[in-house]
Amino acid sequence: MQDTTIAIECKDLGRKYETRGRKDKKETTALQGLNLTVRRGSVFGLLGPNGAGKTTTVRILATLLTPSSGSAAVMGFDVDKQANEVRRRIGLVLGGERGLYRSLTGRENLRYFAALNDIAPKLARVHIDELLEAVGLNDAGDTRVEEYSRGMRQRLHIARGLLNDPDIILLDEPTIGLDPIGALELRQMIPELASQGKTIFLTTHYMLEADLLCETVCLINHGAVVAMGSPTEIKQRFSKTRIIEVTCTDLSPVSEKLRVIPQVGRVESRIDGVFQKLTLHIEEGAIIQKEIAECLGEGVIESMVEREPNLEEAYISILGRN
């Protein structure tokens, strides 16, 4: 029986790339046994270092690449054996400079892609107006894409991805290279789309973005899942790290001094006016405030607070162990 609550399911998904050098063939394993499940109507974030296999996963889900082993299904359809059914239900937003016709206007681009998608011109006209409005490009619809800013191009990519009214939207690093306001505007669109019942599958290197948007995040490395759960679960359960923030009056480099405490991991330091602010990653459960105070010396500490890691700190602590 097909589970109607699941939008995407990858089972032991594997993908190898073969590249031909001048003399020999080289094989790269991009995915090795990736297992994940995405709930329908949710925003799902795939995170991981460069080369972890995020784009490869997106391309497989979009039927642009076939799996080398294992399987992936979108809305219950196999990406390999039922690629046409999958294509009908997804919108792919790869972004960047490619995929748009620079000498055409935004509206003309969408008309062209609507025709490629076999959407009747009459229907397309209304739909395109709505989409331009939805992505905030109604004033720029008749401007050539070559005059668009990066953020405007990215929004046009999204409009293109929405043309076929997909159930699932795949976004590969949607906010890369956008200025803070452009990124904010784009991020605001994502919960709106999810509230319409669409499932959003995105990759990002921005942890704050993932934390804000995603119901579930999945950390992958070397083509396999390292941790998956809600941002809160990732911070609390998987990272096994707590953060201690110390404000001290000693501006000399003190990080090295703290390394004698075995439960102290990474130490970051920055100068803020007359203070040095230290962020210490410590092992969960360690009670070492006294040791820290002793290490730094008497009268040096202005304040010391312990808190939960944010998603970026949790990511560093989880992937730093791999």
Residues lying near ligand ATP in the complex (CB under 6 A) are found at: 17, 19, 28, 30, 48, 50-56
Output 59 or 187, the one with its CB closest to ligand ATP.
Answer: 59
Query: Residue 17 binds which one of Mg ion, ligand ATP, none, with CB within 5 to 8 A depending on kind?
Result: ligand ATP
Q: Which of 80, 84, 6, 66 is nearest to 30 (CA)?
A: 66
Residue 173 CB, shortest distance to ligand ATP, in Å, is: 7
The pattern of x and - marking residues 49 through 88 that bind Mg ion according to CB under 5 A reads: -----xx---------------------------------
Q: Are 10 and 78 a contacting pair, CB within 8 Å?
A: no
Quick note: the x/- pattern for Mg ion over 15-54, rule CB under 5 A, is ---------------------------------------x
Our finding on whether 176 is near Mg ion (CB under 5 A) is: no
Please, which residue, 250 or 312, has the CB nearer to ligand ATP?
312
Spatial neighbors of 34 by CB under 8 A, at least 6 apart, are: 10, 12, 13, 14, 53, 57, 70, 220, 223, 224, 225
Tell how strand 168-172 and strand 199-203 pair up. Answer: parallel
216 binds, among ligand ATP, Mg ion, none (CB under 5 to 8 A by kind): none
Asked if residue 240 lies in contact with residue 317, where contact means CB atoms within 8 angstroms, the answer is yes
- Pick between residue 86 and residue 171 the one whose CB is nearest to Mg ion: 171
Dihedral over Cα of 130, 119, 39, 152: its sign: negative
Q: Which two tokens stand for residue 318?
A: 């989880």
- DSSP-based three-state secondary structure for 302: strand
**Which residues contact Mg ion by CB under 5 A?**
54-55
